[in-house]
Amino acid sequence: MTRPVSPKVDPGDVLEHEEYVLEGMDISGHWNRMFEQRVIVDYDVAQLDRVTDVEGGESMGWCYQCAQCIAVCPVDHVGDYGPRKIYRKLQIGYDLFTDPDLWLCTTCINCLRVCPKEVDMLQIMPAVRKEAVLAGDVPGELQDVFEKTARYGNPLGKNPKRRIAWTKGLEVEVPIIADLDRKVDVLWWVSDYPSYHPRGMEASRCLARILTHLGVDFAVLGAEERHDGDSMLRAGEQGLFEMLADQNIETLNQYEFDVLLTTDPHAYNAFLHEYPERGGAYDVLHYSRFLADRIAGLGLSEEIAKTITFHDPCYLGRHNGEYEAPRDLIEALPGADFVEMWRIRENGYCCGGGGGGMWLDGLAADHQSMRLSEKRVLEAVETGADTLCVVCPYEVSRFEDAVKSTNNDGALEVLDVAELLARAMGLPTD
């Protein structure tokens, strides 16, 4: 399913025919396909064909090597990467199915945004990865995460029963929907890192307090919730994604709720685009949008004397077009100064966590001069900000590690927007 980020051609103006021959020339099919290889040298394109023959890999063959993608590829900024480079290497005969290049793409789709030929890495890389996974060719770190996710329903390999442990001792109530036995307005899909990672758990506790303050009728699934599967799908484990999605849909369809509220942009993406065709169609909102629509009710009264910059998460911003909600929230913080980095909104620079990148740090280290998250932290520090605000649960741990590894410990604090809002509302933040 192709979702061009900013279509270059109005589909209404394009005439496409499954079969069309004009003045002896066969121009059947997709308007953007290549008719022939450019013949500068006669390449044996067998390896390229192996990619374009995979369902989902077709658009790799449309590249005409303009290199717009290389300028915006976050991995190329710290290494040697991008769709055009992959196309070139395929042309001269490398095997993408077994090359480390297969695993470096974070599916941030900044390339697709600028590609005049709509070469879609969001389709290509997962499709080729799927074949590699079926053949058992998976980097060891990722194998471990696939196995943990399949067994425990979360990539951290934590006990599923402890998914609700973050609510222990919390002074506000976080009801489990199975216990309520009634319809709720909002079912909050907490996700794995906000349930199990210490920094995620702190942000969840803040969000629970905020929702309570707003008087929202909400509940969570608790131990029944499993990983949404979106990142597993992008990393090539389609079978695992399907297993998780089907389990989650079966769970969700037992309950009645108006809104499915997500903490994680990756879960948001899955519920919007992947779950409906499997029988799970819900009214899904990201918590930044939910809160931004209720700013007046938050009661932001405490001074936040910070200079804050914001990181656009790929799966909320570029993938799904939400750039304003988190900014509205930050700008509503009393006393806070908001400064923008230079790669923002549609051109946001990826933190490196998407597409399985969260669990491929070892592989990335062998092919990059620094982590994407470190590159981004340096960019944040350049703005003069003392705070980096995030709204995706992958980011807080990535950026906090990067702050330390770039020797900026003490210079830049990484905080979820929920933590900043709770502070401004005079609520506890532990």
Partner 1 sequence: MNIAVLLRAVPDPVEELELNEDETDLDRDYLGYVLNEFDDHALEEALLLKEEVGGTVTVLGLGTADEVDQMLYTAVAKGADGAERLGSDLGPLDAHSQAGLFVEALRQGGYDLVLSGVQASDELDGQVGMLVAAGLDLPHVSVVVATTPADGALRVTKEYWGGITADYDIRLPAVLGIQAARQAPRYVAVARIRQAQESDSLTEIDVDPPAPSSGLRVTAVRIPEAGEGAAMIEGDEEAAADRIVEILAAAGVG
How many residues belong to the site for partner 1 (CB under 8 A)? 21
Q: Are strands 387-390 and 307-310 parallel, antiparallel or unpaired?
A: parallel
Q: How far is the CB of 235 from partner 1 (least distance, A)?
A: 11
Residue with smaller CB distance to partner 1, 2 or 159: 159
Smallest gap from Cβ 130 to partner 1, in A, equals: 8
* Contact predicate 264/285, CB 8 Å: no
Shortest Cβ distance from residue 215 to partner 1 (Å)?
36
Query: Of the candidates 134, 281, 305, 365, which one interacts with partner 1 according to CB under 8 A?
Result: 134
Q: In this chain, which of 63, 86, 104, 133 binds partner 1, going by CB under 8 A?
A: 133
Residue number, 143 or 408, with CB nearest to partner 1: 143
Identity of the residue, 99 or 242, whose beta carbon is nearer to partner 1 in the bound complex: 242
Site string for partner 1, 234-263 (x = CB under 8 A): ---xxxx-xx--------------------
Least separation in angstroms between CB 73 and partner 1:
28
Q: Determine which residue in the list 60, 69, 72, 138 makes contact with partner 1, applying CB under 8 A.
A: 138
Positive or negative, the CA dihedral 101, 106, 112, 113 is negative
List 62, 87, 103, 152, residue binding partner 1 (CB under 8 A): 152
- Give residue for tokens 């890999």: 57
Contacts of 99 (CB under 8 A, 6+ apart): 89
Q: Interface with partner 1 includes 98 (CB under 8 A)?
A: no
**140 forms part of the interface with partner 1 (CB under 8 A):** yes
Tell me the residue type at 95. D
- Which residue lies nearer to partner 1 by CB, 34 or 156? 156
Interface with partner 1, residue 55, by CB under 8 A: no
Q: Which of 29, 116, 157, 175 binds partner 1 (CB under 8 A)?
A: 157
With respect to partner 1, which residue has the nearer C-beta, 116 or 157? Answer: 157
Q: State yes or no: residue 159 binds partner 1 (CB under 8 A).
A: yes
- Residue number with CB closer to partner 1 (131 or 400): 131
Q: Taking the complex as a whole, how short is the minimal distance between the CB of residue 239 and partner 1, in angstroms?
A: 3
Answer for which of 8, 17, 38, 151 binds partner 1 (CB under 8 A) is 151
With binding defined as CB under 8 A, does residue 369 bind partner 1? no
Closest CA to 111 of 138, 141, 85, 78: 85
Per-residue contact string for residues 264-283; x = within reach of partner 1 by CB under 8 A: --------------------
Smallest Cα–Cα separation from 258: which of 288, 283, 281?
283
Interacting stretch for partner 1, rule CB under 8 A, among 32-40, 79-87, 108-116, 144-152? 144-152
| Close Cβ partners of 237 (under 8 Å, ≥ 6 residues apart) | 130, 133, 146
Judged by CB, which is closer to partner 1: 225, or 237?
237
Report phi then psi at 205, rounded to 5: -65, -40
Residue that the structure tokens 């009801």 belong to: 175
Stretch that binds partner 1, among 131-139, 327-335, 369-377, 410-418 (CB under 8 A): 131-139
Residue 147 near partner 1 by CB under 8 A: yes
List CB contacts of 386: < 8 A, sequence separation 6 or more. Answer: 306, 307, 308, 411, 412, 413
Work out whether 145 is an interface residue with partner 1 (CB under 8 A). Answer: no
Other Cβ atoms within 10 Å of 135 Cβ, number: 10
Residue 161 within binding range of partner 1, rule CB under 8 A: yes
Which residue in the set 24, 136, 169, 410 belongs to the binding site for partner 1 (CB under 8 A)? 136
Q: Does 150 bind partner 1 (CB under 8 A)?
A: yes
The least CB distance from residue 241 to partner 1, in Å, is 9
What are the residues binding partner 1 (CB under 8 A)? 133-134, 136, 138, 140, 143, 146-147, 150-152, 157-159, 161, 237-240, 242-243
